Structure 1
Amino acid sequence: MSIRYILVFVLGVCSIGLFAQKAVYLDVYKPIEERVEDALQRMTIEEKVAMLHAQSKFSSAGVPRLGIPDNWATDGPHGIRSEALWDEWDDAKWTNDSCIAFPALTCLAATWNPQMAALYGKSIGEEARYRNKNILLGPGVNMYRTPLNGRNFEYMGEDPFLASRMVVPYVQEVQKNGVAACVKHFALNNQEVQRWDVDVVVDNRALHEIYLPAFKAAVTEGGAWAIMGAYNKYKGQHCCHNQYLLNDILKNEWKFDGVVVSDWGGTHDTWESVHNGLDMEFGTWTDGLGAGASNAYANYFLSDSYLQLLKEGKVGQEELNDKVRRILRMVFRTTMVKKRPFGSFGTVEHALVGRKVAEEGIVLLQNRNILPVDLVKVKKILVVGDNAVRRMTIGGGSSALKAKYEVSPLQGILKRVADLAEVNYVVGYEAPPYGVKETKVDRAPLRKQAVEAAKEADVVFFIGGLNKNGNQDCEGDDRRSYHLPYEQDQLIEELVTVNPNVVVVIISGNAVAMPWVNKVPAVLEAWYGGTEGGNALASILFGDVNPSGKLPFTIPVKLEDCPAHAFDERTYPGDGKSVVYSESIFTGYRWADKLKKVKPLFAFGHGLSYTTFQYDNFRANKRILNDGQTITFSVKVKNTGLREGKEVVQLYISDKKSSLPRPVKELKGFVKVALKPGEEKDVTITIGKEELSYFNDVNHEWVAEPGKFEAIIAASAIEIKGKLDFELR
Structure 2
Amino acid sequence: MKIKPILVFMAVVSSSLAIAQQPIYLDRTRPVEDRVEDALSRMTLEEKVRLCHAQAKFSSAGVPRLGIPEIWMSDGPHGVRAEINWNDWGYSKWKNDSITAFPALTALAATWNRDMSALYGKSIGEEARYREKDVLLGPGVNIYRTPLNGRNFEYMGEDPYLAGEMAVPYVKEIQKNGVAACVKHFALNNQEIWRGSVDVVLSDRALYEIYLPAFRKTVQEGGAWTIMGAYNRIWNQHCCHNNRLLNRILRDEWGFDGVVITDWGGAHDTKEAALNGLDIEMGSFTNGLTSESEFTFDDYYLGKPYLKMIRNGEVPEATVDAKARNILRLIFRTAMNTDKPFGSVASPEHYAAAKEIGDEAIVLLKNNGILPLNPSKYRKVLVVGENAIRLLNEGGGSSELKVKDMFSPLDAIRAVYGDGVKYTEGYRSGRPRYGKEDKISGRILDSLRIQAVDMARDADVVIYIGGLNKNAFQDCESTDRREYNLPWGQDRIIEELVAVNPNVIVANITGNAYAMPWLNKVPAVIQSWYLGTMIGPSMADVISGKVNPSGKLPFSFPKRIEDNGAHYYGERSYPGIENTGDGPRQEYLDDIFVGYRWHDTKKIPAMFPFGYGLSYTAFKYGKPSLSADEIAAGGSLTLTVPVTNIGSVEGKEVVQLYISDEKSSLPRPLKELKGFRKVNLKPGQTEEVSFTVTADDLKFFDDKTHEWVAEPGAFKALIGSSSTDIRVKSRFKYRQ
Say if 1:25 and 1:66, in contact at 8 Å, map to a contact too: no
Partner of 1:467 in structure 2?
469
Deviations 1:157-207 (CA, angstroms, capped at 9, x unpaired): 000000010000000000000001000000000000010110000100000
Deviations 1:663-695 (CA, angstroms, capped at 9, x unpaired): 000000000000001111110011101110000
Partner of 2:270 in structure 1?
270
Structure 1 residues 347 and 287, CA, compared in 2 at 3 Å: closer, same or farther? Answer: closer
Partner of 2:5 in structure 1?
none
Q: Distance in 2 between matches of 1:460 and 1:290?
A: 40
Partner of 2:586 in structure 1?
579
- Which amino acid in structure 1 is aligned with residue 452 of structure 2? A
Matched, 1:338 2:344: no
Structure 1 counterpart SS, 2:196: coil
Say if 2:265 and 2:286, in contact at 8 Å, map to a contact too: no
Q: 2:656 aligns with which of 628, 650, 654?
A: 650
Q: Distance in 1 between matches of 2:202 and 2:506?
A: 38
Structure 1 counterpart SS, 2:158: coil
Deviation at 1:102, TM superposition (A): 0.3
Structure 2 counterpart SS, 1:55: strand
Say if 1:288 and 1:300, in contact at 8 Å, map to a contact too: no
Partner of 1:428 in structure 2?
426
- Which amino acid in structure 1 is aligned with residue 387 of structure 2? N
Q: Distance in 1 between matches of 2:730 and 2:315?
A: 59
Q: Distance in 1 between matches of 2:683 and 2:23?
A: 66
Alignment of 1:424-503 (within 5 A): 424-435=422-433, 436-442=437-443, 443-503=445-505
Q: Distance in 2 between matches of 1:76 and 1:526?
A: 20
Say if 1:24 and 1:65, in contact at 8 Å, map to a contact too: no
Q: Distance in 1 between matches of 2:278 and 2:181?
A: 17
Partner of 2:80 in structure 1?
80
Percent identity of equivalent pairs:
57
Structure 2 counterpart SS, 1:244: helix
Say if 2:24 and 2:35, in contact at 8 Å, map to a contact too: no
Say if 2:597 and 2:671, in contact at 8 Å, map to a contact too: yes
Say if 2:186 and 2:215, in contact at 8 Å, map to a contact too: yes
- Which amino acid in structure 1 is aligned with residue 477 of structure 2? E
Q: Distance in 2 between matches of 1:347 and 1:120?
A: 14
Say if 1:23 and 1:66, in contact at 8 Å, map to a contact too: no
Q: 1:548 aligns with which of 539, 547, 550?
A: 550
Tell me which moved more, 273-282 or 449-458.
449-458
Say if 2:270 and 2:301, in contact at 8 Å, map to a contact too: yes
Q: 2:680 aligns with which of 633, 649, 674?
A: 674
Q: Which runs of 5+ in 1 are unaligned?
A: 3-7
Partner of 2:534 in structure 1?
532
Q: Distance in 2 between matches of 1:482 and 1:628?
A: 45
Q: For the aligned residues, what is the CA RMSD?
A: 1.8
Partner of 1:68 in structure 2?
68
Say if 1:505 and 1:524, in contact at 8 Å, map to a contact too: yes
Q: Distance in 1 between matches of 2:330 and 2:475?
A: 32
Q: Distance in 2 between matches of 1:288 and 1:368?
A: 46
Q: Distance in 2 between matches of 1:592 and 1:75?
A: 35
Deviation at 1:441, TM superposition (A): 2.6
Tell me which moved more, 481-490 or 570-579.
570-579
Structure 1 residues 433 and 331, CA, compared in 2 at 3 Å: closer, same or farther? Answer: same
Deviations 1:510-533 (CA, angstroms, capped at 9, x unpaired): 001000000000000110010000
Say if 1:434 and 1:469, in contact at 8 Å, map to a contact too: yes
Structure 1 residues 441 and 682, CA, compared in 2 at 3 Å: closer, same or farther? Answer: same
Structure 1 residues 414 and 485, CA, compared in 2 at 3 Å: closer, same or farther? Answer: same
Deviation at 1:289, TM superposition (A): 11
Partner of 1:5 in structure 2?
none
Partner of 1:201 in structure 2?
201
Q: Distance in 1 between matches of 2:94 and 2:575?
A: 40
Say if 1:285 and 1:296, in contact at 8 Å, map to a contact too: no
- Matched positions, count: 711
Q: Distance in 2 between matches of 1:667 and 1:313?
A: 51
- Which amino acid in structure 2 is aligned with residue 612 of structure 1? A
Deviation at 1:620, TM superposition (A): 1.1
Deviation at 1:310, TM superposition (A): 1.2
Q: 1:689 aligns with which of 666, 684, 695?
A: 695
Say if 1:148 and 1:478, in contact at 8 Å, map to a contact too: yes
Deviation at 1:718, TM superposition (A): 0.6
Q: Distance in 1 between matches of 2:175 and 2:80?
A: 15
Deviation at 1:28, TM superposition (A): 2.1
Structure 2 counterpart SS, 1:273: helix
Structure 2 counterpart SS, 1:617: coil
Structure 1 counterpart SS, 2:487: coil
Q: Which runs of 5+ in 2 are unaligned?
A: 3-7, 579-583
Deviations 1:647-670 (CA, angstroms, capped at 9, x unpaired): 000000000011110000000000
Q: Distance in 2 between matches of 1:714 and 1:695?
A: 26
Say if 1:25 and 1:67, in contact at 8 Å, map to a contact too: no
Q: 1:594 aligns with which of 597, 601, 604?
A: 601
Q: Distance in 2 between matches of 1:69 and 1:688?
A: 45
Q: Compute the TM-score of the two structures, normalised by the length of structure 2.
A: 0.95
Deviation at 1:292, TM superposition (A): 5.5
Say if 2:24 and 2:38, in contact at 8 Å, map to a contact too: no
Deviation at 1:351, TM superposition (A): 1.2
Alignment of 1:112-511 (within 5 A): 112-285=112-285, 293-294=293-294, 296-418=296-418, 422-435=420-433, 436-442=437-443, 443-511=445-513
Deviation at 1:416, TM superposition (A): 2.2
Partner of 1:35 in structure 2?
35
Deviations 1:453-489 (CA, angstroms, capped at 9, x unpaired): 1111111000000000000000001000000000000
Q: Distance in 1 between matches of 2:675 and 2:34?
A: 40
Matched, 1:706 2:674: no
Tell me which moved more, 431-440 or 615-624.
431-440
- Which amino acid in structure 1 is aligned with residue 657 of structure 2? L
Structure 1 residues 656 and 303, CA, compared in 2 at 3 Å: closer, same or farther? Answer: same
Q: Distance in 1 between matches of 2:47 and 2:138?
A: 28
Partner of 2:562 in structure 1?
560
Structure 1 residues 293 and 611, CA, compared in 2 at 3 Å: closer, same or farther? Answer: closer
Structure 1 residues 293 and 615, CA, compared in 2 at 3 Å: closer, same or farther? Answer: closer
- Which amino acid in structure 2 is aligned with residue 579 of structure 1? Q
Structure 2 counterpart SS, 1:473: coil
Say if 1:563 and 1:587, in contact at 8 Å, map to a contact too: yes
Q: Distance in 2 between matches of 1:45 and 1:363?
A: 55
Deviation at 1:291, TM superposition (A): 5.0
Say if 1:106 and 1:153, in contact at 8 Å, map to a contact too: yes
Say if 2:467 and 2:509, in contact at 8 Å, map to a contact too: yes
Q: Distance in 2 between matches of 1:287 and 1:307?
A: 25
Q: Distance in 2 between matches of 1:687 and 1:97?
A: 46
Tell me which moved more, 285-294 or 488-497.
285-294
- Which amino acid in structure 2 is aligned with residue 345 of structure 1? V
Deviation at 1:290, TM superposition (A): 9.6
Q: Distance in 2 between matches of 1:33 and 1:188?
A: 32
Say if 2:141 and 2:185, in contact at 8 Å, map to a contact too: yes
Say if 1:459 and 1:502, in contact at 8 Å, map to a contact too: yes
Structure 1 counterpart SS, 2:511: coil
Say if 2:108 and 2:116, in contact at 8 Å, map to a contact too: yes
Tell me which moved more, 620-629 or 599-608.
620-629
Partner of 2:636 in structure 1?
630
Partner of 1:613 in structure 2?
619
Deviation at 1:417, TM superposition (A): 2.4
Structure 1 counterpart SS, 2:129: helix
Deviation at 1:438, TM superposition (A): 2.3
- Which amino acid in structure 1 is aligned with residue 665 of structure 2? S
Structure 2 counterpart SS, 1:518: helix
